[in-house]
A = this chain, B = another copy of it.
Amino acid sequence: MKIAVDVMGGDYAPGEIIKGSIDAVVSDGIKVILVGQEELIQEELKKYRYPAGHVSIIHASEVIGMHEHPAKSVRRKKDASLVVATKIVKRGQASAVVSAGNTGAQMAAALFELGRIPGIERPGIATVLPSPTGPKVLIDSGANVDVKAQHLEQFARLGSAYAEGVLGIENPQVALLNVGSEPSKGNEVVIEAYQLLKQGDLNFSGNIEGREIFQTDVDVIVCDGFVGNITLKATEGIVAALMTMMRAELRKNPLRVLGGVLAKPGIKDIVKKLDYSEYGGAPLLGVEGVSIICHGSSKARAIRNAIRYAYQTAQSEMLDMIARGFHEG
């Protein structure tokens, strides 16, 4: 099994992407195919020692920029690293694609090249959130900003298959993200989705509020991509603000400075635990293959985690479970 890595995508490409790929090779024994401009890749690879049989290169002459139009760029740039990396998954040369590049373009490439699993109208991005009560899947975290009730119901099925197949959670509990717990709460789409889920065969436990995301027994949290994106980024933002303020506050007097120095490793551990961007990227669920979307700001550590994660996902029975779920449903 090999993982295709788009080494040209992301704020720190190709250096950090290649570094992370080599980490995955050396530390986890995973085989990778580095896709991008060959000369650049060869140059970067000189920095590392690794088992030669574990790393191959596929040259791609073009690059899709972070702000290019997703569908248009994928259609026009047939030899873009992201497109080529997705194509080799389709061809079976690789088992998954990992990219930190243009998210929209990655989705478009997955839709055009891999195609949707029959029965799924809108693939969704699943983000795995760490929490004191274990990992949660939040879906959709940004792929679809305008949705209908049946799309939320499909996200619930996708998230549930993922939680079970990849995270190993048996009969995962699913909830809708909402402004209150009663079935009558929420906007029109969410109220309708509640009824669909209630009548369905998933382990649906109702609505949860924003406050509960990080402290709930629920395993799969369902929302549209507009709410999901803003919610996740807002929580990232407040943690960053908190850390900025903490640094200032812990300089205010010598006792606090000492306290800060001693407490720092603990505080760092927690922030790392809550930092889902370090978790290793978010899978696009609902397409016929494994496509892992990484944060644009991913450095080597995040890329290595994403590759390991892509490997686990590709090894799992998730795709079959999703297909079965929709076939039976």
Residues of A with Cβ closer than 8 Å to B?
67, 131-132, 142, 145-146, 177-179, 182, 186-188, 190, 209-215, 223, 225-227, 229-242, 244-246, 249-250, 252, 255-256, 258-267, 269-271, 273-274
CA distance A131 to B244 in the complex (A): 11
Q: A179: which of B226, B240, B242, B259 is its contact (CB, 8 Å)?
A: B226
Total copies of this chain within the assembly = 2
* B residues less than 8 Å from A246 (CB atoms): 266-267, 270
* B residues less than 8 Å from A187 (CB atoms): 145-146, 226
Find out whether the CB atom of A179 lies under 8 angstroms from the CB atom of B225: yes
If A230-B179, A237-B212, A242-B242 touch, does A263 touch B259 (CB 8 Å cutoff)?
Answer: yes
CA distance A198 to B258 in the complex (A): 50
Most chain B C-beta atoms within 10 Å of own C-beta, residue among A131, A145, A250, A263: A263
Q: A270: which of B67, B234, B242 is its contact (CB, 8 Å)?
A: B242
Closest residue to A254 on the B side, CB-wise? B262
Minimum Cβ distance to chain B for residue A207 (Å): 11
* B residues less than 8 Å from A274 (CB atoms): 238, 241-242, 245
